[in-house]
Amino acid sequence: MDRNGDGKVDLEEVAAYYNGLIKDGTGDQMVDSAVTVGVQAIDTDGDDKISREEFTAFYKINPREPVKNIDAIFDKLDLDKDGFLTKDELAKLWKQFYFSTNPNDPGKVFI
């Protein structure tokens, strides 16, 4: 991934890497499997989507710094506002996170 050899992988290189994957079709598969693994990790009742409660619980057990405004983040990620994060939504957000150049896109909430 480190194309310019400076020992660091910068965002541009990451984007180029993932764009390459998208072009040859493996990117979508990769996003799908990553989303599936992610949903399985957070989805405790096994209905294949993430409720606000599951999302909040996940953040509370996460050893990283406590995240403020979990509710606001959830609202932003829940694109169709049905109260659940589905795999489709997460795949879309995941792609935004990597490929979008618009910092206001919901997928950028984790940056």
Site size for Ca ion (CB under 5 A): 7
Nearest-CB residue for Ca ion: 43
Say whether residue 2 binds Ca ion (CB under 5 A). no
Rounded to a whole number of angstroms, the minimum distance from the CB of residue 4 to Ca ion is 39
Say whether residue 55 binds Ca ion (CB under 5 A). no
Say whether residue 88 binds Ca ion (CB under 5 A). no
d(CA 90, CA 80): 12
Decide if 50 contacts 85 (C-beta within 8 A): yes
Q: In the chain, how many H helices and how many E strands?
A: 5, 2
Decide if 48 contacts 37 (C-beta within 8 A): no
Say whether residue 12 binds Ca ion (CB under 5 A). no
Say whether residue 43 binds Ca ion (CB under 5 A). yes
Enumerate the H helices of 7-69 as residue ranges.
11-23, 26-42, 52-61
Say whether residue 39 binds Ca ion (CB under 5 A). no
d(CA 55, CA 93): 15
Rounded to a whole number of angstroms, the minimum distance from the CB of residue 90 to Ca ion is 9
Applying CB under 5 A, the residues found at the interface with Ca ion are: 43, 45, 47, 78, 80, 82, 84
